[in-house]
Chain A
Amino acid sequence: MANWLKIAFGNLLKNRRRSLVTIMGIGIGFVSVSLFYGYIHNTYDGLRNAAIKGEGIGHLTIYKKGWFLKGKFEPDKYMFTDAELGKVKAIAKTDENVVLVTPQLSISGLVSNGKMSTIFMASGVVPADEQIIKGDWGKFRPVQGEKLSEKKEYGVEVAQDLAAILGMKPGSNGVVMATTPDGQMNALDIEVAGVFDTGTQASNDKYMRVPFSFAQSLYETEKADRIVVLLTDWQNTEAVRGDLLDKLNKAGLECEIKTWNELSQFYSKVRGMFDMIFMFIFSIVFVVVSMSVVNTMGMAVVERTREIGTLRAIGVKRSGISVLFAMEGALLGFIGSVGGAVAHTLLCIAVKSGDLSYVPPGNSSSVPFIVDLLPGSMLILAFFLISLSLFAAIFPARRAARLNVVEALGHV
């Protein structure tokens, strides 16, 4: 075996420049795929966290069946009573993946500073639960002023553009007005506890967060319109959704459950686009790598025709010749991948130490530009490129194996 590897390796060294060009092609292909993958991986992570933690929608949101179709007209009928909430909580908590089950109530109406008013949308959230959902995200997009608190029911968080429009800052007072599910007008005093950045321009001028009990008071209801479930790991989202739906149905609670990515359209759209770009880059690399390996090994077969004849004469079978050249192709893929992995690592470190940031389209503020270093994915990519080089080399290798021994020996 060692001698065969030496023949393969020695010939790559002998045609140094040609091998180098091919290896660089494979290496650049590796880096472009893995860098882009590292970037979108990081972006997906960020967007996922922004949805689950930032928007506070958790992993799963449970609605009563029919909420989306008929909830607007008969909200009361499609909301959860305290007793139902208790049932759902008890059922959901039996799943070990579930960290938290918390009720929410979405409200909308007008917010006024005394002189002028504008529309708002708000989530009524249990303050303590909201902190658990936010987790470390809270540090990334901190709230100026105070956070929501059980102790101060009328203290609300206001999105930064909305606060600016109304000239509000932490400590300012105002009034919110809304129509209750029963069709009554209701108004309550508020005090701005904190100001925050939602992350997207579209929501920064109308969004608020209020304590759950405050939302209930404004809507004059004892109910919640949704129940948010937080899991230990986002990867289990789909599995838990199925299980939970089964259990709820069995318990006689007709529900529907949406996942975080169904509710966060931004994530799905960005992902759709990036996945397509990824496939595009990947296809180009696929074609370039296979073509350059076919070309390099094809030239090698022509140049080494007499060597092939000699090896055949002294007893190497056709299959042996095939293996020899396929191995040489795989070796190109291997060296290219190792080079690509090293380059990727160096570039990752450079990007990280460069402390770069940018404002993605639709975002209200900049996010750090980070490329993830993913050894597992890089290993898979390397394995793929090595196999691709090997398979690409099989075409010229088979041609070499089929050569007529006498003719090959006569080749100059």
Chain B
Amino acid sequence: MALIETKNLSKNYHLGASVVHALASVNLTVARGEFVAICGPSGSGKTTLLNLMGVIDAADEGEMLFKGKDVSGLSDNHKTELRNNSIGFVFQKFNLIPVLTALENVMLPLQIQSISPGIAKTIAMDRLKQVGISDFAGHRPDKMSGGQQQRVAVARALVINPSLVIADEPTANLDSVTAKSIIDLMHDINRTQGTTFVFSTHDQRLLDRVQRKVILKDGRINGGENNG
């Protein structure tokens, strides 16, 4: 069974009288352990698709199956629990909680699961080590560089052992060297732990070693290639 399967997934925005087809009948399957890049020009629907796959947005038409189950009928609380237990997020602007330290930020998804602080701390610390940023465990986000913050964000996404990590333009706010190191980090984790990643980017240079590319245009899949 595929991890994610979309069937004729569509999402429209109404701007006055005109309708924008942000996503039009997208059929896409992502298997467990894949490392998938969504690319395409600005406005092609990358963010819309990732939001639907991350279960933070609802489609207008079609189905979005997560582990074989359609998520569209789930209540808000069930969707939230699903995200908390199975989906990690990495954002373009890092989105760490400013008043918490790196370690506390990484602990947060576990504490939402009501895991005791002691255990959460141990697991979170391991994740910080894994992304190479354990020295900054006690630092607040505003005392860290963009690259460091994004590493913390990756650790936060991974701390729950997610089935899926969604990353919408995780490198757009980083310089090219740091951007590459973040993609490499995600790639390493994908290879060593089999975590599924779906991310979007504008940057062609980052896509050399990517196993699978999905290219969007005007809300439709406009091709793709599979190097794996």
Q: Chain A residues near B100 (CB, 8 Å)?
A: 3, 6-7, 10
How many contacts A-B (CB < 8 Å)?
74
B117 engages A2 (CB within 8 Å) = yes
Judge if A85 is at the interface, Cβ distance under 8 Å. Answer: no
Q: C-beta contact mask, B64-107 vs A, less than 8 Å → 1, else 0?
A: 00000000000011001101110011010101011110001001
Interface residues of chain B: helix, strand, loop or mixed (majority): helix
With A3-B104, A6-B100, A320-B112 given, is the CB distance from A313 to B77 under 8 Å? no
CA distance A320 to B54 in the complex (A): 20
Q: Which residue of the partner chain B has the closest CB to A316? A: B112
A14 engages B99 (CB within 8 Å) = yes
A310 engages B95 (CB within 8 Å) = yes
The smallest beta-carbon distance between A392 and chain B, in angstroms, is 22
The smallest beta-carbon distance between A332 and chain B, in angstroms, is 16
Judge if A380 is at the interface, Cβ distance under 8 Å. Answer: no
A11 engages B80 (CB within 8 Å) = no
A409 engages B56 (CB within 8 Å) = yes
B83 engages A315 (CB within 8 Å) = yes
Judge if A314 is at the interface, Cβ distance under 8 Å. Answer: yes
Residues of B within 8 Å of A, CB-based: how many? 29
Judge if B211 is at the interface, Cβ distance under 8 Å. Answer: no
Q: Chain B residues near A4 (CB, 8 Å)?
A: 111
Q: Chain A residues near B99 (CB, 8 Å)?
A: 6-7, 10-11, 13-14
Q: Chain B residues near A2 (CB, 8 Å)?
A: 117
Judge if B113 is at the interface, Cβ distance under 8 Å. Answer: yes
Interface residue tally on A, bucketed by range: 20 to 34
CA distance A309 to B99 in the complex (A): 16
| CB-CB contacts below 8 Å: A350-372 with B | none
Judge if B109 is at the interface, Cβ distance under 8 Å. Answer: yes
CA distance A10 to B142 in the complex (A): 14
Q: Chain B residues near A406 (CB, 8 Å)?
A: 51, 56-57
Residue in B83, B107, B156 with the greatest tally of chain A CB atoms within 10 Å: B83
Q: Among A310, A313, A405, which residue has its beta carbon within 8 angstroms of that of B97?
A: A310
Q: Which residue of the partner chain B has the closest CB to A405? A: B56
CA distance A405 to B83 in the complex (A): 12
Q: Which residues of B contact A (CB under 8 A)?
A: 51, 54, 56-57, 76-77, 80-81, 83-85, 88-89, 91, 93, 95, 97-100, 104, 107-109, 111-113, 117, 156
**16 residue pairs bridging A and B, Cβ less than 8 Å apart:** A2-B117, A3-B111, A3-B117, A6-B104, A10-B99, A10-B100, A11-B99, A14-B98, A306-B93, A312-B80, A313-B56, A314-B112, A315-B83, A317-B76, A406-B51, A406-B57
Q: Which residues of A contact B (CB under 8 A)?
A: 2-4, 6-7, 10-11, 13-14, 306-307, 309-318, 320, 405-406, 409
**Extra contacts besides A316-B112, A406-B56 (10): CB < 8 Å:** A2-B117, A3-B104, A3-B117, A7-B97, A7-B100, A314-B89, A315-B80, A315-B81, A320-B112, A409-B95
A-B complex: 5 closest residue pairs judged by Cβ atoms: A315-B84, A10-B99, A310-B95, A405-B56, A315-B112
